[in-house]
A and B are shown apart, each in its own frame.
Chain A
Amino acid sequence: MRLQYPTSVQIVKVPCTGRVDIIHMLKAFEEGADGVFVAGCMEGDCHYLAGNIRARQRVKRVKEILDKVGIGSGRVEMFNLSAGMGGRWAEIAREMTERITQLGPSPIRIAREKGQSSAGEKAA
């Protein structure tokens, strides 16, 4: 299909979105990610029955945490699509990238970069 999607999207492969835990999403933000989206199978089509349903609940919890820590729940989202929906995948990647671009860089990344540059200044 040769579909294009933004190069800023980094893929972390998991056997099932049921493997994605709250801490994995939080760690991504700690490491400076501007946004995270979880792409699971269509609801009702999980090979492990409820992996994608569990992932949705965990994304919901991460949204609550992100609101509380001041990063904002809009930076994380859950999507459902099948392995045969390549077009939709590219669309979601573009949609999410656009949303994150509008939100701007994550305040954590800004804080980290500021910290690193001030540490660099101190070292210099």
Chain B
Amino acid sequence: MIKAIGKPLEEIVEMIGDSKKVLIAGCGGCVTVCEAGGDKEVKVLASSLRLYYANAGEEKELNEATVTRQCDVEYLNELSEIVDKCDVVVSLACGAGAQYMAERYNDKPVFPGVDTCFIGVNLERGVYSERCQACGKCILASTGGICPVARCSKRMLNGPCGGSEGGKCEVDKDIDCGWHLIYERLKTLGQLDRFEIPVDPKDWSTSRDGGPRKIVREDIKI
């Protein structure tokens, strides 16, 4: 799922500025799972802001609402009444949800309350790790189920590079070398011969090189 982390309070305060009526809008999707922008985080942020403004002697109205997902317009529609009453919206959804909120309520300033980081997994509660860069052309089948695009710091397709040492990456000793992981996994699978075939340059047009992407599924469209 998408992983995000809450923005520092001072940054949110600066974005809100002089606006009096604020909606803190949470999302019940990915950001709830990574505990960055769900109902609970909406309550904590709103409470923190209330304390901040009370201490600063500023009068603000902090409203709270969380919808099932901010990346679906039917859920965003549920907020129409409360958004109308507010001057600004602080969206705790991922970058996609926050943008869709701004698109749906285009006359209302919408600020991001979280920094969207990556597509990843939960190593444990509160520890998330990147696994996918949504390149649009999955090559996991040939790399032992470990993605060199997401797990190799250099996104090399024919690794490892000379910076791999003891299974760690030269960029940071806390980062596992993606290609070392691939080697170990392919060894387990008995597919080390995979290293004898150089991989051709990747077609990045399905990634960001082809501009903003869109999927159209005629078979499921209503």
Taking Cβ atoms with an 8 Å cutoff, the residues of A that contact B are 21-23, 26-27, 29-30, 65-66, 68-71, 107-108, 111-112
Contacts and interface: CB of A to CB of B under 8 A. Distances in A.
A71 B47 CA distance: 13
B56 interface: yes
A63 B74 CA distance: 39
Given A30-B50, A30-B51, A108-B54, 8 more contacts: A22-B44, A26-B47, A65-B48, A68-B48, A69-B48, A70-B52, A70-B55, A111-B54
A30 B44 CA distance: 11
A111 B44 contact: no
B51 A26 contact: yes
Contact of A112 (B8, B44, B47, B54): B54
Interface of B: 8-10, 40, 43-44, 47-48, 50-52, 54-57
B56 A70 contact: yes
B56 A26 contact: no
List 5 A-B pairs, minimum CB-CB distance, nearest first: A26-B47, A69-B52, A69-B51, A70-B55, A111-B54
Contact of A26 (B8, B10, B48): B48
5 contacts: A23-B47, A68-B10, A68-B48, A69-B48, A69-B55
Residue of B8, B54, B57 with highest tally of chain A CB at under 10 A: B54
Contacts, number: 45
Contacts of B52: 68-70
A108 B43 CA distance: 18
A30 B47 contact: yes
Contacts of B40: 21, 23
Contacts of A112: 54
A57 B83 CA distance: 35
Contact of B9 (A21, A30, A69, A107): A69
Contacts of A108: 51, 54-55
A47 B89 CA distance: 43
B9 A26 contact: no
A71 B51 contact: yes
A51 B98 CA distance: 35
Contacts of A70: 52, 55-56
Nearest to A25: B47
A108 B50 CA distance: 9
Given A30-B50, A30-B51, A111-B55, A68 B9 contact: yes
Contacts of B48: 26, 65, 68-69
A92 B157 CA distance: 60
